[in-house]
Chains A and B, each alone.
Chain A
Amino acid sequence: MGPLIPNGVIPYEWDSVLAILIGIAFGFVLESSGFSSSRKLAGVFYGYDFAVLKVFFTAAVVASIGLYYMDYLGYIRVAELYVQPTYLWGGIVGGAIMGVGFVAAGFCPGTALTSVAIGKIDAMVYVVGIMIGVFIFAEFYTLFQPLYEGSFLGNITVVDSFGVNPYWFIFILTIAAILAFYLTDLLGKKIKKVFY
């Protein structure tokens, strides 16, 4: 019964080993999908390349279907999985700041790391930038604290807070993903290509 390490099926010592192996797979897939290229990533915001939307949305749908299917079959209990806490305004404001950073730099932290791995200097500068951002946040923590700790709603999922059936929710999410893929492909044909 999963999750394996929290339930003691695999000894805790494997945690760090798995972290490296999972990281290798994660980095490999991101790089091979073209996420080490900021110009490819930024394409999602200008409509010349929707790879970010396709990879990201496909992954989220596959993962949620898989996890809930494994829960249904009894291999894992979704209730035991880590759900990050929801801080309403923290999530909105933090996300908005990240959105501006994303389109300014063309990277998010995970994709930038794979880009650092293949020697792109702009990605290295970007990672330094992130560390400066973390430093600014920590040094002015008292200013950010009300936003960081306010509007706490708990470690909630859509099932807890809206009482929706998770299977229907995932089904609708999947349909939304397929629609988004179809519509962006239509849109992509009308937009001038950018080669990089």
Chain B
Amino acid sequence: MKNIEQNKHIYWNPYFGGFLLGLIVIFTFYTTGRGLGASGAMKSGVVAVVETVAPTHAANNAYYSKFISEDKSPLNTWLVFEVLGMLIGGMISGGLSGRIGLRVQHSPKITSRRRLYFALGGGALFGIGAQIARGCTSGAALSGMSVLSVGGFITTIAIFGTGYIAAYFFRKNWI
């Protein structure tokens, strides 16, 4: 039998996944009046850590203090609950398809160490960018475009446009 090369994991048809994701966005707006998000929860995590470690520093900083209030923890936000759900949902999906396991995924052409350095650096850039643009691909781009927000389109074009320009410099990591 001829051995046909194929990917290790078979995922959903992208149009099916996209359709369901669109329905989730509609349901979210219909029930809560707001969209999805992800990076906001990580910001809440940072605010909570800084507030615990250095409460006066957090209160004096103009950025942290926006998200600190007397009566509730900075972690008590809609996005933190949503993100906890995402971890559960991802685990259920991965578990049903046998994809769970501790490992570093990278191209065979690079080492795990290199992959982790780039993951850390890319994450830091994304963290800074998501603060400046007030949202990431979920909150600003996807949810923004769904309600035809001008900012949503601008951020989407900026993310993918720059991604294509920068792709040349990072090609060794992927192809």
Contact = CB atoms under 8 A, between A and B. Distances in A.
Contacts of A63: 22-23, 25-26, 29, 142, 145-146
A91 B154 contact: yes
Given A134-B42, A147-B132, A23 B82 contact: yes
B90 A117 contact: yes
Interface in B86-143: 86-95, 97, 99-107, 115-116, 118-143
A54 B14 contact: yes
A157 B148 contact: yes
Contacts of A14: 31
B148 A169 contact: yes
B132 to A, nearest CB: 3
Contact residues on A (Cβ < 8 Å of other chain), bracket: 35 or more
Contacts, number: 540
Contacts of A142: 62
Contact of B123 (A25, A33, A101, A120): A101
B55 interface: no
Interface residues of A: mostly helix, strand, loop or mixed? Answer: helix
A80 to B, nearest CB: 6
A133 interface: yes
A106 B167 CA distance: 10
A134 B154 contact: no
B162 A105 contact: no
A135 interface: yes
Contact of A126 (B6, B78, B119, B129): B119
B163 A85 contact: no
Given A4-B31, A95-B158, A129-B127, A37 B9 contact: yes
Contact residues on B (Cβ < 8 Å of other chain), bracket: 35 or more
A64 B147 contact: yes
Interface of A: 2-6, 10, 14-16, 18-34, 36-40, 42-46, 48, 50-51, 54-64, 66-67, 70, 75-76, 78, 80-88, 90-123, 125-139, 141-142, 144-145, 147-148, 153, 155-161, 166, 169-170, 181, 192-196
Given A104-B121, A139-B61, 5 more contacts: A63-B146, A99-B166, A129-B121, A133-B123, A145-B62
27 contacts: A22-B36, A23-B87, A27-B92, A38-B119, A39-B105, A40-B11, A58-B17, A62-B21, A62-B26, A66-B26, A75-B30, A82-B33, A91-B140, A94-B131, A98-B159, A108-B38, A109-B137, A110-B38, A117-B90, A121-B104, A121-B116, A122-B106, A128-B120, A133-B124, A137-B63, A156-B149, A196-B107
